[in-house]
Structure 1
């Protein structure tokens, strides 16, 4: 693995070999989306390697297939396990992802040979359905988890998350006025770039701390 981005049929690799974050995409955008590109580059600048991959349904779309909805949860989790198996020998290995990808990672982190999990915009509930929470497994997690969340994320606002019962192993990094993509409104006086930099800083600090433990 090199310090530059390498394109491969199944993976995009950025930054050093270790520590390394296996990073999954969200439901609608591929591993090469602008968000995934920028956060990977910022992490590489901070000494954290990133390996991006795609779930089967997104691979099929990229290879000329029609746009289709995400795979069912068992398929997503099985694919996560297969990716971890390929890179389990990497020293100081972490898993995580954007939205759905991060949620799936958090569901297997306790059983995976990794040091922790990073979630960028965790989907605590579906849009406009705050009563349908996706937090049951988060109550008893033992592995270190960092969730980077915008305070006005429509899938989990700060005031909503404050009422959830979450494991003590979970750390939350709140980005003021950020939406599900961590993007603030212009009137906030903040920029998306600033929030992505803050996210990368928080992730690098988390990964370095867990790597040293």
Structure 2
């Protein structure tokens, strides 16, 4: 299997899984956003570029996205408590199947899920909010294995493309309460004009020291620049992917030590 190859599977009880590249420096479970699955242009481009640089990338479609693909029409994602449980089940399934540590990350909503999985303060912060309301009963009922899977996962690092710091035009509804519970190194790849958190918005936040921000010039939530900027969308995605792969490589040795 070379860095350009993609292996595709249907995992019984879970759904489609694609594995891109070889795990020279690590593996990354990269979860899709709310409105587009692993086959979207952004996901395919970003994943291919990361995988070409020694980081194996695993992508999935969550159950609601599988239904979207089957029915051929859009639908909103379920409450995040359900996607959180499903993503955690995938992580626990994939963790022992490779020779290198498994990072977690995602695009937009997928990135938010990744940060929640990696946080030890989830139960006392966002899980207690009306938006989530996740109980131990929910965890058992929604887990494919019937086990209590949600809690902090011991991942070596987190990669996020387009973190939804807040809903568009609602800058006071921040989604940062669980960040202090993330001890692993985290990289956020963010467009300067992202309506979910622009460069001006984020400048006012107090982020933990383990969180590194990479700003993509004139990019929106999909890292797409305005035509007048003279920049190319593909170039910005390449830049983001290269930063992601470099971040994993930079933490390669410590990630082996961090995972039991």
Give the TM-score, by structure 1 length: 0.94
Q: How does 1:5-16 map to 2 (within 5 A)?
A: 5-9=6-10, 10-16=16-22
Partners of 1:21 and 1:191 lie apart in 2 by 26
> Does the aligned pair in 2 maintain the 1:21–1:96 contact within 8 Å?
yes
User: Structure 2: any 5+ residue segments left out of the alignment?
Assistant: 11-15, 120-151, 255-260
Structure 1 unpaired stretches of 5+: none
Indicate if the aligned counterparts of 1:121 and 1:147 stay in contact, CA closer than 8 A: yes
For the residues of structure 2 that align with 1:66 and 1:148, how far apart are their CA atoms? 29
| Aligned-residue offset at 1:115 | 0.7
| Aligned equivalent of 1:160 | 201
Q: Which of 144, 155, 174 does residue 114 from structure 1 map onto?
A: 155
Post-superposition offset of 1:114: 1.6
Counterparts in 2 of 1:80 and 1:191: CA distance versus 1, 3 Å = same
| Aligned partner (choices 40, 44, 58) of residue 47 of structure 2 | 40
Aligned residues: 213
Q: Residues of 2 paired with 1:44 and 1:152: CA distance?
A: 27
Does structure 1 residue 86 correspond to structure 2 residue 93? yes
| 1:22 equivalent in structure 2 | 29
Counterpart in the other structure of 1:128? 169
Does structure 1 conserve the Cα–Cα contact (< 8 Å) formed by 2:31 and 2:111? yes
Q: CA RMSD in A?
A: 1.5
Kept after mapping to 2: 8 A contact 1:146/1:172? yes
Q: Is the 8 A contact 1:152 1:179 kept in 2?
A: yes
CA–CA distance in structure 1, aligned partners of residues 232 and 240 of structure 2: 12
Please say which structure displays the higher CA radius of gyration.
Answer: 2
| Structural mapping, 1:139-178, within 5 Å | 139-178=180-219
**What is the alpha-carbon distance in structure 2 between the residues aligned to residue 197 and residue 74 of structure 1?**
32
In 1, the alpha carbon distance for the partners of 2:102 and 2:88 equals: 13
Contact 1:116 1:143 in 2 (8 A): yes
1:2 deviation in Å? Answer: 5.5
1:39 is displaced (CA, Å) by: 0.6
In the alignment, the residues of structure 2 paired with residue 139 and residue 161 of structure 1 have an alpha-carbon distance, to the nearest angstrom, of: 16
Alpha-carbon distance between aligned partners in 1 of 2:235 and 2:244, rounded to the nearest angstrom: 14
Q: Name the structure 2 match of 1:56.
A: 63
Cα offset for 1:178?
0.5
| Partner of residue 233, structure 2 | 192
Following the alignment from structure 1 to structure 2, what is the Cα–Cα distance between the partners of residues 198 and 58? 27
Preserved contact between residue 125 and residue 132 of structure 1 (Cα < 8 Å) = yes
